[in-house]
Amino acid sequence: MTGLASPPLRTTVNGDGRAAGTTPGASQGRPRPRRTALLPTAALVLGALYCLLPVAWVVVAATKPDNELFSTFTFLPGDGIADNVTDLSAYRDGIYWRWMLNSVFYAGLGAVLSTVVSALAGYALAIYRFRGREAFFNVMLTGVLMPPVILAIPQYLLMAEADLTDSYASVLLPLILSPYGVYLGRIYAEAAIPMELVEAGRMDGAGEWRIFRRIAVPMMAPGLVTIFLFQFVAIWNNFLLPFIMLGDDEKFPMTVGLFTLLKQGASQPSLYTLVITGALLAIAPLIALFLVIQRFWSLDLLSGAVKS
Amino acid sequence: MTQPPKGARRSYGAEAAPYAHPSPTTTLTRARSAQYLFPSPTTTLTRARSAPYLFLLPAAVLFALFFALPIGYALWLSFHKVEIKGLGLGKGAKSEVWAGLENYTSALTDSELAASALRVLGYGAIVVPVMLGLALFFALLLDSERVRARSFARLAIFLPYAVPGVIAAVLWGFLYLPDVSPFHFLLGKLGLPEPDLMDGGPLYLAMSNIAIWGGTGFNMIVIYTALRSLPAEVYEAATLDGCSELQIALRIKIPMVVPSLVLTFFFSIIATLQVFNEPMTLKPLTNGIPSTWSPLMKVYNDAFTGGNIHAASATAVVLALATFVLSFALLRISNRRTTQGAGR
């Protein structure tokens, strides 16, 4: 996406052990004063608390029974979490879990396909010198800048022509190609794969495909994980496209489902408790994923090349 | 159409020609060489020549289908309109005819669109500087050895990235409701007036807050990574010269991460002008948000509620162009600033 500022990547790939920041002695390069700077630490912690505030609130609010949501103090927990989850699961025969599964499906499959496409294209752009290489890359990059809305309406109309609206494919297909992902793929391939290795593979008689599979893919692995995560989050968070494409709420992803629930809540406030419980259950998996994954995957890798 | 074999073969040759120049023999060897253990240099070369195109094929096809084609179609739609003949009944009564710039003039003179554009500009004027300022500030703090609780803070500030915009708006939306809001609770305790956070002026702050909350962490990581990649010797030299941490931050670190700042700036603007999910989600919770609050909501409204896809396409094109012009203009200004700064 941002071919203009690629240099950070190499250092991040090598330096992510250091980036964890907790390993003692890992930052040999710099002098390390031991005195704590109180004010800056306070500012940083304050920022962290601000970011945790709504999450903390939703955890508390999801424990409140219907009648307490608007009556007891915001951060006073109730004891209705089990009931709320049961109510949510019972709502329209468990359609909430259907939305959750749909989101997992869209984001999971979409991100896998996207990673494959990005890896292939990124590898080609990084390793081969061929006619049209830069043109292809630049055209692709302008695609990033294209506002989703200018795409969404004609995408919907074209899908309607193909009789594909209101189908899983209508949400899945347009999101497979991520110009972002292709850009990342190129950067990672350039950083991780030495040309000599590719040449050596050719000398040994390996085909181009085999070289890609056996040499390039393993070397690009950390980058590919990053592309996967990036796309997973992007599709998981997507609202506009499924909102436009889908009419049948059995196919809704989480975001659109919760939105419709919230909209109904305007006339039926008892649904608000379900919305809140649903919101908590919807963000829990991604937060858990990031907490788990950060042990062996560095956040910096995401930003090392992704500037959005 | 009725001469498939000849035409097909010719087009295949034409397609292959620019990159591979394959003579019939090399094509033949290439096909066979797969089974050979020791391919000749020429066949490897031929293979290597077509390989990048094959690798790019999925991306190219998807790009054509889901980017190029829709953009072309949107442009086409924006220059057409529906003409109704007679009473507009029956098949063929409605036809799409060339509209020239008609859709564009009506889009540009639409007061609703202008109002929504103004709203979003005001919103962007809050979001972009505050969000990037905070992102830079936190990144510098994370990069300072004397600050504690860094890994906790880094993760906590990044956390909102994992929260979909719709859900972020739901969470904050409830926190803005007078009966739920801790802000109202605090203001009430202090005996201060309790403004409606989702109407009028405060709405801008409420809406901006959601975007700032959601976007700061990601931008912080981007800037922080750029800071980490700066060579440590620079700091050592500065420390030996007796620079304080603050001086190092202001004089060395910030100027060196300007490229990252420019990029985060660029993409923040694009994202801001396209705001849709958050106002759309807050709408059911208040009467203060019209259905055309942001330009994108206006486009959606025209296309799917109003059913006028031609006007909506023209508006979308205008919006896209405005985004490009605005972001590139700002990019140029900031670039000129930086080069001037470096010159001094």
Residue B198 has pLDDT above 60, yes or no: yes
- Mean pLDDT across A130-145: 83
Of A158-162, B43-47, B179-183, the least confident: B43-47
Residue B157 has pLDDT above 90, yes or no: yes
Mutate to test the interface with B, among A44, A73, A128, A283 (most CBs of B within 10 A): A44
B-chain CB neighbours of A254 within 8 Å are 164
Cβ–Cβ of B316/A233 closer than 8 Å?
Answer: no
Beta-strand runs (E) in B160-213: none
- Mean pLDDT across A52-57: 92
- Mean pLDDT across B191-197: 78
Instruction: Give the whole-angstrom CA distance, residue B217 versus residue B159.
Output: 7
- Mean pLDDT across B299-305: 89
Question: In chain A, positions 26-55, which contact chain B (CB-CB < 8 Å)?
Answer: 27, 29-33, 35-37, 40-41, 43-45, 47-55
Question: In chain A, positions 5-24, which contact chain B (CB-CB < 8 Å)?
Answer: 5, 7-8, 11-12, 15, 18-22
Residue in chain B closest to A171 (alpha carbons) equals: B66
Q: What is the pLDDT of residue B69?
A: 92
Nearest to A124 among B55, B274, B276 (CB): B55
Could you tell me where the DSSP H helices lie in chain A? 8-19, 38-61, 81-90, 95-127, 133-145, 148-161, 168-172, 179-192, 195-203, 208-211, 217-237, 240-245, 254-265, 271-293, 299-305
Nearest to B166 among A51, A54, A259 (CB): A259
Residue A87 has pLDDT above 80, yes or no: yes
- Where are chain A's structural domains? 93-305
Chain center to CA of A124? 24
B265 part of contact set with chain A, CB < 8 Å: no
Residue in chain A closest to B272 (alpha carbons) equals: A147
Cβ–Cβ of A29/B232 closer than 8 Å?
Answer: yes
A93–chain B nearest CA distance, Å: 22
A139 part of contact set with chain B, CB < 8 Å: yes
B170 part of contact set with chain A, CB < 8 Å: yes
Cβ–Cβ of B63/A153 closer than 8 Å?
Answer: no
Instruction: Give the three-state DSSP class for B245.
Output: helix
A33–chain B nearest CA distance, Å: 6
User: Do A111 and A232 touch, CB atoms closer than 8 A?
Assistant: yes
Q: What count of other Cβ atoms lies within 10 Å of the Cβ of residue A262?
A: 27
B-chain CB neighbours of A178 within 8 Å are none
Query: ipTM of this predicted complex?
Result: 0.82
Instruction: Give the whole-angstrom CA distance, residue A4 versus residue A183.
Output: 11
Chain center to CA of A197? 32
A92 part of contact set with chain B, CB < 8 Å: no
Eight-state DSSP code of residue B109: T
Residue A19 has pLDDT above 70, yes or no: no
Question: In chain B, positions 44-103, which contact chain A (CB-CB < 8 Å)?
Answer: 44, 47-49, 51-53, 55-56, 58-60, 62-63, 65-67, 69-71, 73-74, 77
- Mean pLDDT across A93-102: 94
Of A235, A240, A85, nearest to A147 (Cα)?
A240
Cβ–Cβ of A40/B59 closer than 8 Å?
Answer: no
- Mean pLDDT across A266-275: 84
Cβ–Cβ of A255/B245 closer than 8 Å?
Answer: no
Q: Report the amino acid identity of residue B209.
A: N
B-chain CB neighbours of A103 within 8 Å are none
Burial of B7 (0-12, 13-18, 19+ CB in 10 A): exposed
Q: What is the pLDDT of residues B254-280, one digit of tens each?
A: 988 888 888 888 888 888 888 999 999
Q: What is the pLDDT of residue B29?
A: 44
Q: Report the amino acid identity of residue A145.
A: L
B-chain CB neighbours of A236 within 8 Å are 164
Residue A265 has pLDDT above 60, yes or no: yes
**DSSP sequence for A127-148:** H---TTHHHHHHHHHHHHHS-H
- Mean pLDDT across A223-246: 91
Instruction: Give the whole-angstrom CA distance, residue A236 versus residue B95.
Output: 39
H or E element in which residue B82 lies:
strand B80-84
Q: Which residues contact A112 (CB under 8 A, 6 or more apart)?
A: A228
- Mean pLDDT across B48-66: 89
Cβ–Cβ of A239/B165 closer than 8 Å?
Answer: yes
Of A256, A158, A153, nearest to B298 (Cα)?
A153
Query: Among A106-115, A276-285, A286-295, B175-184, which range has the highest average pLDDT?
Result: A106-115
Q: What is the pLDDT of residue A302?
A: 59
Backbone angles phi, psi at B223, to 5 degrees: -70, -40
User: Do A186 and A272 touch, CB atoms closer than 8 A?
Assistant: no
Q: What is the pLDDT of residue A49?
A: 95
Length reported for chain A: 308
Structural domains for chain B: 4-59 (no CATH), 110-343 (1.10.3720.10)
Tokens representing A258 are 């919760």
B240 part of contact set with chain A, CB < 8 Å: no
CA distances from A31 to A115, A136, B137 (A): 40, 46, 21
Of A41-50, A162-171, A268-277, B103-112, the least confident: A268-277
Residue A20 has pLDDT above 50, yes or no: no
Cβ–Cβ of A130/B73 closer than 8 Å?
Answer: no
**What average pLDDT does chain A have?**
82
Residue A118 has pLDDT above 60, yes or no: yes
Quick one: pLDDT band at residue B233, thresholds 50, 70, 90? confident
Quick one: pLDDT band at residue B48, thresholds 50, 70, 90? low
* CATH architecture of the domain with residue range A93-305: Orthogonal Bundle (1.10)
User: Do B131 and B267 touch, CB atoms closer than 8 A?
Assistant: no
A135 part of contact set with chain B, CB < 8 Å: no
Question: In chain A, positions 149-208, which contact chain B (CB-CB < 8 Å)?
Answer: 149-151, 153-155, 157-158, 173-174, 176-177, 179, 182, 202, 205, 207-208
Quick one: pLDDT band at residue B18, thresholds 50, 70, 90? very low
Q: What is the pLDDT of residue B324?
A: 81
Angle among Cα B65, B70, B71 to the nearest 5 degrees reads: 120
Q: What is the pLDDT of residue B10?
A: 38
Instruction: Give the whole-angstrom CA distance, residue A185 versus residue A21.
Output: 27
Residue in chain B closest to A35 (alpha carbons) equals: B146
Q: Determine the number of helices (DSSP H) and then strands (DSSP E) in chain B.
A: 17, 2
- Mean pLDDT across A89-103: 92
Q: What count of other Cβ atoms lies within 10 Å of the Cβ of residue B6?
A: 8
Residue B2 has pLDDT above 80, yes or no: no
Residue in chain B closest to A170 (alpha carbons) equals: B66
Strand partners, B95: B83
A119 part of contact set with chain B, CB < 8 Å: no
User: Do B286 and B300 touch, CB atoms closer than 8 A?
Assistant: no
Residue in chain B closest to A62 (alpha carbons) equals: B171
Q: What is the pLDDT of residue A308?
A: 30
User: Do A132 and B52 touch, CB atoms closer than 8 A?
Assistant: no
A103 part of contact set with chain B, CB < 8 Å: no
Q: What is the pLDDT of residue B7?
A: 36
Burial of B15 (0-12, 13-18, 19+ CB in 10 A): exposed
Nearest to A128 among B51, B77, B225 (CB): B51
Quick one: pLDDT band at residue A299, thresholds 50, 70, 90? low
B242–chain A nearest CA distance, Å: 13
Residue in chain B closest to A45 (alpha carbons) equals: B153
- Mean pLDDT across A203-224: 89
**Helical pair B111-142 and B150-158, crossing angle rounded to 10 deg:** 160
B-chain CB neighbours of A304 within 8 Å are 225
Quick one: pLDDT band at residue B91, thresholds 50, 70, 90? low
Q: What is the pTM of this model?
A: 0.81
